[in-house]
Chain A
Amino acid sequence: MTVATPIETRNALPRWAIGLTVLVFLVGGVYFAGNLSGENPPIIGGPSPSAGGGGPAVAQAIIADAGCQSCHGPDLAGQGTFPSLHGVKDGAVSENLQDLYAAHPDDWAKLWIDGTDPAVAGLDRGGMPAFGGTLTPEQIDIVVEYLKTLP
């Protein structure tokens, strides 16, 4: 039976290795010192600073991250059995949402996307996930405001 053998090593630490490390730390330190001021954006899944004021770029980022286009189509105009979201500004976008729209004409879309409110408990979601667990109310507001701007 052959046996385990240790790995031979040489111990010298080249000067350039020390120099390189010091240089990298100096560059990092200078960059850190020059970028101390600023404000973080809201975490995806966390609250946003201004409800409903995220703008189209923020809304598009949230929509892309939430995967809305995977069902409602690349331009959110609907595909297969999934309805178009271009009519959100005019009211319910599918048959199963008519009652919800009638009962909550102002916030039906928010309630529907959130999916956790008792108001939508008995509705057939048709495969639509409840985003209340992954998006904050503020993010849902941003998305709804954006959807209302679609032609």
Chain B
Amino acid sequence: MAVNPKKLRPYDQPPRRRRSLIPQAPDSAALAFLVVAALWLLVAAGLGATWIGGLLFPAQLTFQFEIPLPIIGALPIDISPQTDGAAFANALVYGWLSNAALGAILFITPRISGVRLVGERTAFLAMVAWNLAVAGGLSSVYLPSVAQVGRLAEFAIPFDGLMLLGLLMVNVVFWRTVMAARRLPYVSIWFFGIALLAVMGTYALAAAATAGAQLISLDATLVALLVGFAGRAIETYWVLGVALGTLFYVVPRATGNPLASAAMAMLAWVLWAGLSGVSALGALVDTSIPFWVTMLGNVGTMLLVAPVFLSVATLALTIQRRWTLVLSAGSIAFAVIAMAFLLATSLLEAIGSLRTVQGLVRGTEWPIGVWAFGSLGTATFAAFALFDHAAPRLLRRDWGGSVLTDAQLWAGFAGAALTGLALMAGGLAHGSLLHQAAQPDEITNTLRWFLMVAGGGMSLVALGSAALLGTLFLMYTTARKASYAVADALAAAAGH
């Protein structure tokens, strides 16, 4: 029977679709991860600026006190350059870069496999678990009674468990989606697959080591070595791997060109997958470790230049005839900056792995400067490139960019470059002074200038992150609605 909708009375109308507490619409989880990531970048940059400020003015920015609590007595709080530094590193890697990485994986995987994400709700719950863990873990860094020791492993034990749960959920969603795909995976999927498994495994290793230290009094040196190995592996497999996978997706999409050489990209993947683990052996520095093992790790770090160069070459060849895109702030400009930082970071890491250089810069600011190049430069700009490409599609907005995108690009670029270069130069100066057995005041006075420049750089990064948040806000509130591609199995099977 035909129904005239104009004659429908209220009780004839179909019930309105109820909104689920846990969204299950396509891309819900990816959007949530990316929006939260942008907020974390601002937090991380703020913590970074506070950390450097604390190094410059320790007396003014060190606060140690106790909060009286009814049941446990007193809760000691330690806000100092040490805890600020740990909070900054964790907020940057687990807050900003990891949320952006997980968002990128959940955005890209359905689009190149042609299958809707299998387990959108699970992925959304993973986002909730991950971010609760990061927020709680960051707070625990300031509580000396529960904080752990070791780079990127400072979170209290319960938060480690929650983070691992989040990673497990994303792994399940990712692998189920990839298994459901009907075509051979594109190279980005290969990068994401190894990166996801590796970050879960290495984070579990670090968490088990720190838990072992507390629960069964595991040897402190063994714990420090395991945590050091895991921290380095997280950088090479997770931070670098996802950045490469993201660039391999964004560059062909944004230029409209085919990937210049799938074989070269796969060769880069094979070399990266093998050498990332070898490179992590370089973190095993102790008298109890045979020297050749550490040296093998250092050589692995040097050899990582090969996959990085092959990746950058493939991407540069892909941009051919579309280089004018670099002239305007957008995905390709962000991607090219990420590629430049990528090359610089791999070369600097290779130089830093040389035995003579290590003797000079060990225990100085040099490694932190190189790390800043990799995290604030390479990985951050790869994520920026993805944001520029993905945000209009996820928010379903017709967006051509704004002056804020330029601000994001220039502030972010100048900030990452200044921070990294100042810390590296400071590290070289520090190392030289240590070898001359200089007095502590001479070292501190010399480092002050480098730290001031690094602090300025970090403030610029904070400005760039504010510009990213402003862009997202303007895009959502002012741009026209538009429809974009959504992965669909039937359409993919039809060959579209």
Chain A nearest CB from B390 CB (Å) reads 13
Q: If A13-B261, A43-B224 touch, does A63 touch B440 (CB 8 Å cutoff)?
A: yes
Q: Cα distance A76–B443 when bound, in Å?
A: 12
Q: In the docked arrangement, what's the CA distance between A79 and B445, Å?
A: 15
Q: B58, A129: Cβ atoms under 8 Å?
A: no
| Size bracket, chain B contacts | 35 or more
Judge whether B362 and A41 touch: CB under 8 Å. Answer: yes
A8 touching B252, Cβ below 8 Å = yes
Asked if B303 and A7 sit within 8 Å, CB to CB, the answer is no
Tell me the bound Cα distance from A135 to B491 in angstroms: 61
A-B contact count (CB 8 A): 199
Once bound together, how far apart are the Cα atoms of A136 and B55, in whole Å? 24
Asked if B163 is at the interface (CB within 8 A of a chain A CB), the reply is: no
A45 contacts across to B, CB distance below 8 A: 149, 220-221, 224
User: Which residues of B are found within 8 Å of A75, using beta-carbon distances?
Assistant: 439-441, 444
Bound complex: CA A47 to CA B309 (Å):
39
Q: How far is B186's CA from A9's CA once the two chains are assembled, in angstroms?
A: 9
Contacting A at CB under 8 A, from B121-175, are 144, 149
A105 at the interface (CB under 8 A from B): no
Interface residues of A in 4-19 (CB under 8 A from B): 4-14, 17-18
Nearest CB of chain A from residue B292's CB, rounded to whole Å: 5
- B302 in contact (CB, < 8 A): yes
Closest A residue, CB atoms, query B300: A28
Residue B35 CB within 8 A of the other chain: no
Kindly list chain B residues whose C-beta atoms are within 8 Å of the C-beta of A77. Answer: 441
Mark the stretch among B39-47, B193-201, B410-418, B478-486 that contacts chain A: B478-486
Closest chain-B Cβ to A86's Cβ sits at a distance in Å of 11
Task: Tell yes or no: B118 within 8 A of A by CB.
Answer: no
Which chain B positions have C-beta within 8 A of A47? Answer: 221, 287
Interface residues of B in 197-220 (CB under 8 A from A): 220
A118 sits at the interface (CB 8 A)? no
Chain A residues, Cβ within 8 Å of B288: 46
User: Inside 8 A of A1's CB, which chain B residues have their CB?
Assistant: 483, 486, 488, 491
Bound CA–CA A11/B486 (angstroms):
27
Chain A's interface size range is 35 or more
Chain A proximity mask over B439-458: 1 for CB below 8 Å, otherwise 0? 11101110010000000000
User: B355 to chain A: closest CB distance in Å?
Assistant: 6
| Segment at the A interface, from B107-115, B326-334, B401-409 | B107-115
B487 interfacial contact with A, CB 8 Å:
yes
**Is B305 in the interface zone, CB < 8 Å from A?**
yes
Residues on the B chain within 8 Å of A63, using CB = 440
20 additional contacts (CB under 8 A) given A44-B363, A70-B55: A2-B486, A3-B496, A4-B488, A9-B258, A13-B261, A13-B264, A14-B264, A17-B264, A21-B271, A31-B302, A38-B291, A40-B287, A40-B291, A41-B285, A46-B286, A61-B363, A67-B82, A129-B80, A129-B144, A136-B220
What is A's interface to B at a CB cutoff of 8 Å?
1-14, 17-18, 20-21, 24-25, 27-29, 31-32, 35-47, 49, 56-57, 60-61, 63-65, 67, 69-71, 73-77, 79-80, 82, 127, 129, 133-134, 136
**Nearest 5 CB-CB pairs, A to B?**
A74-B444, A75-B441, A70-B58, A8-B258, A3-B491
Q: Which residues does B use to contact A, with CB under 8 Å?
A: 54-55, 58-59, 62, 64, 78, 80-82, 110-114, 144, 149, 183, 186, 220-221, 224-225, 228, 249, 252-253, 258-265, 267, 271, 285-289, 291-292, 294-296, 299, 302-303, 305-306, 309-310, 313, 355, 362-363, 430, 434-435, 437, 439-441, 443-445, 448, 483-488, 491-492, 496
6 contacts between A and B (CB under 8 A): A4-B486, A11-B263, A38-B295, A61-B362, A71-B58, A136-B220
